[in-house]
Amino acid sequence: MEDIQNATLAGGVAIGSSADLVIKPYGALIIGLVAGTISTLGFSKLKSFLYEKIQLHDTCGVHNLHGLPGILGGVSGAVSAAIANDVLYGVDVSTIFFKRGPNRNAIQQGGYQMAALVISISIAIVTGIIVGLILKTPLFDQ
């Protein structure tokens, strides 16, 4: 039952990045299915593997419920931005992507969103390492 709960939440996390974009219902179903699968496999297989190999102890399942589906959501948002056009959706896509127009095309918009994902992950890794180092100081009891 816990896997079903986590898979359901993971689907919502993954679709959050592109839900307000120009995505069709079948796209949302595919993203949700992949996110639920990734989350379930993460909890059943990856969690123990990461603990054994690098001593990553995820007490609340944040990595598998928010981390991996969030990355999937960021990638799907970038892909949906890269394929969005006026013909496909029948509306002016620049109403959704405000920076789109004569100076930025769909591929460039998708690239900007992918760059934002990479920057976000980089910030998370660096700040996580800093917090981990601070917590390993004698100031905090292990």
Taking residues 2-21, what's their average pLDDT?
81
Residue with token string 């999937």: 72
| pLDDT above 70 (res 90) | no
Given this model, what pLDDT does residue 142 score?
A: 64
Q: Where are the alpha helices (DSSP H) in the chain?
A: 2-15, 25-41, 47-54, 62, 68-83, 86-89, 106-135
Given this model, what pLDDT does residue 88 score?
A: 67
Q: How confident is the model at residue 119 (pLDDT cuts 50, 70, 90)?
A: very high
Structural domain contains residue 129: yes
Structural domain contains residue 98: yes
Please give the tally of structural domains in the chain: 1
Structural domain contains residue 142: no
Q: How confident is the model at residue 114 (pLDDT cuts 50, 70, 90)?
A: very high
| pLDDT above 90 (res 118) | yes
* 95 Cα distance to chain centroid: 24
Structural domain contains residue 77: yes
Range of the domain at 43: 2-135
Q: What is the pLDDT of residues 63-72, one digit of tens each?
A: 777 888 999 9
The b-or-e profile of 83-121 (16+ CB within 10 A means b, else e) is ebeeeeeeeebeebbeebeeeeebeebbebbbeebeeee
Whether this prediction's pTM lies above 0.85 is answered by: no
